[in-house]
Chains A and B, each alone.
Chain A
């Protein structure tokens, strides 16, 4: 099956900007399907962070932002805080085979 590739881990000191990439292909992100992002705290269910590439649900701080270019997307955290330490997943749709929704492998953010 097609995959969305994320770096296994990223880190940053409080106040820094951290970026997490999500690289797909021509049957998912490159085909124009939207990318969405989730935050998963230890022991909790994933929480929607960004939908439709760059939209934030109510309650999500504006230090989180999303973007997309070609076959890749990115999540940026501007002014990272200790409470942001979590796993982050991107998600899109893939039109190969009979079509399916897929997630990236996840990125662990460590706040130094």
Chain B
């Protein structure tokens, strides 16, 4: 049973870079789509992007210019970096696995499960 746990600073200053890690236990980073999703306080969910297997990535077009997702297989975690943050980036950030059926190599029919517990990041000067 894969379990995910987010970690990182809870406060980031405007214009700086938000950095979070997601530790993966109970499974391998290989052959899976590892995603980041965020939820502003009192609002809905927004997919940020994923990293797959050896390092191919896909990002939400609305955030693409500011997002980098990377993987550290030696430490079994993947990371999110979001640059030039503003107050609008204040949110609970979740890491999750994009699960899919074996025939769905692209993950387009996929769903997110499991999820980490989430970590609140506040952009605050």
Interface residues of A (CB under 8 A from B): 1, 33-34, 36, 38, 44-48, 51-52, 57, 89, 91, 93, 95, 97-106
Contact = CB atoms under 8 A, between A and B. Distances in A.
A103 B111 contact: no
Interface string B21-37: 00000000000000100
Which of the four size classes fits the interface of chain B?
Answer: 20 to 34
A33 B110 CA distance: 9
Interface in B59-82: 60-62, 64
B53 interface: no
B86 to A, nearest CB: 18
Given A45-B118, A57-B113, A103 B62 contact: no
B94 A45 contact: yes
B112 A48 contact: yes
